[in-house]
Structure 1
Amino acid sequence: MTQVCYCGASTAFEQCCQPLHQLHIDALTPEQLMRSRYSAFVTGDAQYLFDTHHPEYRSGLNVTELAQACKQSKFVGLEIVDAPPPSTSSGEVEFKAWYQQGKEVLALWERSQFSKVDGLWKYCRGEIKPTIKLGRNDPCPCGCGLKAKKCLLG
């Protein structure tokens, strides 16, 4: 069975984010780049995360640190809150990246800034909003259609 893409798109990972990870295609929008970066966190593709991080905003960030960050949490769903049309050189995407730590399911809520470097979209930085804790009766962010208590929190 084909794996639906981790980014929440209805297409298969092999047709959605994987071609970006393998550098066969480039992200056409900040949202597409952000979705592919989320999938890279899920799959542990730290090199892709590093390569798509704007060089001017890395501040000592390295592939080893990114690999550790990928392993720290189990990512379970992505929710796009806002993705306004970008300008020709910059854009923003607000999202909630749901992850599981122990028995808790939390969301990293961020408004990310992106800009183009040599014609390619790169992640610059993000404004982190307060962490959200998933309630037992909330819809499960994995997309299964169940309440959280029946899926992730059960």
Structure 2
Amino acid sequence: MIYIILSLLSFSLLVLFLQWGKKRRKQDLRNLLEAGLKNPYRFEEFAREYLKEHGFRSVRTTRKSKDFGADIVAKRRGSTVVFQVKRRNSTVEKEVVKELVAAAYIYGATEVGIFTNGELSTGLKKELEELKRSGGFIKRVHVVKNINPEEL
């Protein structure tokens, strides 16, 4: 009987610890986002941590210049994904697609993504749809948009 009670107590403590860790990670992300909304490099750090929390692995930011259009390179289900990170007060325009395709080719990626706190322009949405349908080497497009502290 004592073993059952100890097992239940241990399990309860583990659950509490895991919940506390998850809550702390969310608060850390929220703090990083608030800093990132003021500084584009901190926004890239936030994007990196956000992607890690949402299933991407080997997530790394590229250097600040001469990165061939990739801000983040990550892995997901065995595929390489390149992301453009755009901290904006306005919409993200379609020129991003050219940079994404070039970066994907250079980094050997088969998936591309846009990570932004803003909206996507109509032209960009059309370009991304066309990219998905093209049947080229880009197999998937990820879009993370409208990121704000209230969502975390």
Name the larger-Rg structure: 2
Bin of the TM-score, shorter chain as denominator length: under 0.3
Q: Which has the larger strand fraction? A: 1
Q: TM-score, length-normalised on structure 1?
A: 0.27
Q: Which has the larger helix fraction? A: 2
